[in-house]
């Protein structure tokens, strides 16, 4: 009697647990489906970020609760739609579609959210899943384009395009890549996406028609140990994906070695590529000299110019360039660091009645001081810095007066954007007094354009110095003089026809003190750089 009751209680308890578990699983399934519905509503309202976050939550819920089948497939499918349609990420979308088809091979796109681009990637995912991971029956070993076996290895990455990679290539030597394609194939473009050491993302290169198919040689300067990875995607003439070999997640890998153990790779009908020459100067290659810094791959840096040729500075580390941009603080190549400017200086000084002058009138000019440009000592029109026993300038009209001269500038760029310079200005005419004809000083300059070996550049500068600036309103009049201290600023535009020779135009403003004088110096001349 007791045993019968215990058995009934056990059955009731088991049934209750089963119902509870079933209810929980059903609740999680409904949760996943509801999150998918919310996400696609957000996607249709162009709330792309919200849609992606909601779908990621749905995926995590499904994985935690062991939700499989069509619900999981629909979640991956919607993630692919948002990745491609919302973010333009075809690679990520292809991965999501692949996972969706692996979860449920019968899953289909929703016509309301599908586009031609989304459909093309989905078709590519169907080919990937349907074709399996070993197209053409290739397992274990690899075969060169000519058909000879090159040794054992792991199974090839998935794909629908016939391709067999080389097992190795010599460092600093271009890597040939070949895919078979019949001459009648309706192919638009075939691209190889490769990643060398130091690259963050895959870089794309076009494959060209060669004997028996399509081929390309990856740049020798980027073939660095320990390996180079790549995958291939083919597109039809309309731009839709039509096949692939490998993928970003499962790329082909070729070992980069210092000594060969296999035959030299080559494209069909072509000679094997040679190692980079000294002129190409790949990063790390012995004997290279490019004027660049010595920081190697992975070393810390502040600017690209501190890295070896072929590398760029990103996030304070030297990495391989991606071809898509340049460090804004450094030039793409070498640029002159030293320069010499020699120019003719027009010189315009502001003169007005009462300014201090360089001399007193000659004895023979007494009585004619006013018409010769002199005011008598102590005249109330004389400036406050003119001693009571000195004459000062007398003008009919105040204004600008010419003060021509020659100017020499020597400079050095300590950084791609920052430099220092020295200047000397020699006046072609001047009066009497300390350093009456000479003005010199130093400048700090900032380059406003990208540094280049030849071409246009724009520079701003500020500086100071010593010497004197004298201005004469008329040949019969004395020179207005300045103090012996100078502050100057302005800009310079230059154009170098070659790496070493060009023309420049400089506009400088001088503020002289303690005896005040304002002057402007437009200068045109020849620039030598090296």
Please report the pLDDT score of residue 440 as a whole number. 95
Q: What are phi and psi of 485, to 5 degrees?
A: -120, 145
Instruction: With respect to residue 67, please indicate whether it lies within any of the assigned structural domains.
Output: yes
Helix, strand, coil share (%) of the chain residues, nearest 5: 25, 30, 45
Rounded to an integer, the average pLDDT of 430-456 is 90
Q: Decide which of 285 and 293 is more confident.
A: 293
Report d(CA 156, CA 230) in Å as an integer.
Answer: 12
Q: Is the pLDDT of residue 185 over 80?
A: no
Q: Does a structural domain hold residue 146?
A: no
- Are 486 and 386 within one domain? yes
pLDDT tens per residue, range 472-527: 888 878 999 999 999 999 999 999 998 889 999 999 999 999 989 999 999 999 99
What is residue 247's predicted lDDT score, i.e. its pLDDT?
83
Query: What pLDDT score does 509 carry?
Result: 95
Buried b (16+ CB within 10 A) or exposed e, 400-427: ebebebebebebebeebbebebebbbeb
Do the beta carbons of residue 365 and residue 481 sit within 8 Å?
Answer: no
Same domain, residue pair 412 and 435? yes
* pLDDT per position as a tens digit, 115-164: 877 887 888 888 777 643 333 333 333 334 433 333 333 455 666 787 88
Identify the domain boundary among 292, 310, 328: 328
User: Lowest mean pLDDT: which of 31-35, 331-335, 374-378?
Assistant: 331-335
pLDDT at 90: 83
pLDDT tens digits, 239-269: 777 788 888 888 899 999 888 888 899 998 8
| pLDDT number for residue 303 | 67
Q: Give the list of residues 6+ apart from residue 230 with CB closer than 8 angstroms, or none.
A: 177, 192, 193, 194, 195, 202, 218, 246, 251, 252, 254
Higher-scoring residue by pLDDT: 154, 406 = 406
Residues 6 or more apart whose Cβ sits within 8 Å of residue 458: 447, 448, 449, 491, 492, 493
* Residue 484 three-state SS: coil
Residue 271 counted as domain residue: no
Residue range 50-78, pLDDT digits in tens: 999 999 999 998 888 888 888 899 999 99
Q: Measure the CA–CA gap between 330 and 259, rounded to whole angstroms.
A: 35
Nearest to 465 by CA among 433, 488, 435, 492: 488
Chain segment 90-105, per-residue pLDDT in tens: 888 888 998 899 888 8
Q: Residue 233 — φ and ψ, nearest 5°?
A: -130, 135
pLDDT of residue 35: 92
Q: What angle do CA 256, 258, 259 make, to 5 degrees?
A: 110
Least confident of 191-195, 294-298, 450-454: 294-298
Highest mean pLDDT among 9-23, 180-194, 442-456: 442-456
Number of domains in the chain: 4
Whole-structure pTM over 0.75, yes or no? Answer: no
Mean pLDDT of 384-395: 89
Same domain? For 379 and 511 the reply is yes
Q: Write the pLDDT tens digit of every residue in 205-232.
A: 888 888 888 899 999 888 888 899 998 8
Query: Please, is 360 exposed, middle or buried when counting C-beta atoms within 10 Å of its C-beta (0-12, 13-18, 19+)?
Result: middle
The answer as to whether 354 is a domain residue is: yes
Query: Does residue 22 belong to any structural domain of this protein?
Result: no
374 shares its domain with 522:
yes
75 in Cβ contact with 103 (< 8 Å): no
114 pLDDT more than 90: no
Indicate whether 342 belongs to any domain: yes
CA distance 163 to 192: 12
In the chain, % of residues over pLDDT 90: 33
Neighbours of 328 (CB within 10 A): 10
End-to-end CA distance of the chain: 109
- Give the number of other CB atoms < 10 A from CB of residue 497: 10
Q: CA–CA separation, 357 vs 271, rounded Å?
A: 82
Measured CA to CA in angstroms, residue 300 lies from 196, 210, 517 at distances of: 19, 42, 49
CATH of the domain at 225: 2.60.40.10
What CATH number did the domain enclosing 440 receive? Answer: 2.40.160.20
Best mean pLDDT range from 197-201, 280-284, 401-405? 401-405
pLDDT in tens, 166-179: 999 998 899 999 98
Locate tokens 């070729």: which residue?
Answer: 254
Domain of residue 311 covers 278-328
In the predicted model, what is the mean pLDDT of the chain?
80
Neighbours of 266 (CB within 10 A): 18
The answer on 248 and 323 residing in a single domain is no
298 and 346: one domain?
A: no
Instruction: Say yes or no: 430 and 371 in one domain.
Output: yes
Q: Sign of the CA dihedral 76, 79, 84, 87?
A: negative
Q: Could you read off the pLDDT of 12-50 as tens digits, one per residue?
A: 445 444 444 444 667 788 888 889 999 999 998 899 999
Under 8 Å between Cβ of 174 and 220: yes
Radius of gyration of the chain (CA): 39
478 with 454, same domain?
yes
Q: Do both 248 and 282 map to the same domain?
A: no
Q: Are residues 517 and 373 in the same domain?
A: yes
């Amino acid at each position: 009697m007791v045993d019968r009751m215990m058995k009934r209680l056990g059955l009731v308890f088991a049934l209750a647990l089963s119902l509870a578990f079933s209810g929980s699983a059903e609740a999680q399934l409904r949760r996943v489906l509801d999150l998918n519905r919310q996400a696609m509503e957000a996607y249709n309202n162009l709330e792309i970020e919200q849609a992606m976050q909601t779908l990621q939550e749905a995926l995590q819920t499904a994985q935690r609760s062991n939700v499989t089948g069509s619900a999981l497939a629909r979640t991956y499918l919607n993630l692919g739609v948002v990745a491609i349609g919302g973010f333009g990420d075809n690679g990520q979308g292809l991965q999501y579609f692949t996972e969706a088809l692996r979860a449920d091979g019968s899953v289909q796109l929703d016509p309301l959210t599908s586009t031609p681009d989304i459909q093309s990637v989905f078709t590519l995912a169907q080919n990937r899943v349907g074709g399996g991971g070993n197209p053409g029956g290739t397992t274990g070993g690899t075969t060169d384009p000519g058909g000879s076996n090159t040794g054992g290895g792991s199974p090839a990455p998935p794909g629908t395009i016939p391709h067999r990679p080389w097992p190795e290539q010599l460092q600093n030597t271009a890597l040939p890549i070949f895919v078979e394609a019949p001459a009648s194939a309706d192919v638009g473009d075939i691209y190889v996406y490769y990643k060398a050491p130091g690259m963050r993302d895959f870089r794309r290169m076009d494959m060209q028609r060669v004997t028996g198919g399509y081929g390309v040689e990856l740049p020798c300067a980027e073939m660095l140990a320990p390996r180079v990875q790549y995958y291939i995607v083919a597109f039809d003439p309309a731009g839709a994906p039509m096949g692939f070999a490998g993928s970003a997640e499962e790329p082909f890998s070729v070992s980069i070695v210092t000594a060969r153990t296999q035959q030299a790779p080559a494209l069909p009908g072509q000679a094997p590529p040679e190692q980079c020459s000294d002129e190409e100067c790949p990063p790390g290659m012995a004997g290279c000299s490019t004027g660049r810094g010595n920081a190697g791959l992975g070393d810390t840096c502040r600017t690209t110019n501190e890295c070896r040729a072929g590398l760029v500075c990103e996030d304070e580390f030297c990495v391989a360039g991606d071809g898509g941009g340049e460090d804004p603080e450094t030039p793409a190549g070498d640029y002159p660091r030293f320069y010499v400017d020699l120019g003719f200086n027009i010189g315009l000084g502001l003169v007005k009645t009462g300014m201090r002058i360089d001399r007193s009138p000659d004895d023979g000019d007494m009585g004619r001081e006013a018409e010769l440009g002199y005011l008598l000592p102590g005249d109330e029109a004389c400036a406050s810095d003119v001693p009571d026993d000195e004459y000062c300038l007398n003008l009919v009209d105040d204004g600008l007066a010419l003060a021509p001269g020659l100017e020499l500038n020597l400079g050095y760029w300590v950084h791609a954007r920052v430099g220092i310079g020295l200047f000397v200005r020699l006046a072609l005419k001047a009066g009497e007094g300390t350093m009456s004809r000479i003005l010199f000083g130093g400048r700090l300059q900032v380059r406003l354009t990208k540094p280049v070996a030849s071409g246009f550049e724009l520079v701003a500068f500020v500086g100071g110095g010593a010497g004197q600036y004298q201005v004469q309103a008329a040949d019969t009049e004395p020179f207005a003089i300045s103090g012996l201290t100078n502050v100057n600023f302005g800009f310079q535009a230059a154009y170098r026809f070659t790496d070493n020779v060009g023309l420049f135009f400089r506009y400088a403003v001088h503020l002289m003190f303690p005896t005040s004088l304002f002057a402007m110096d437009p200068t045109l001349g020849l620039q030598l750089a090296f």
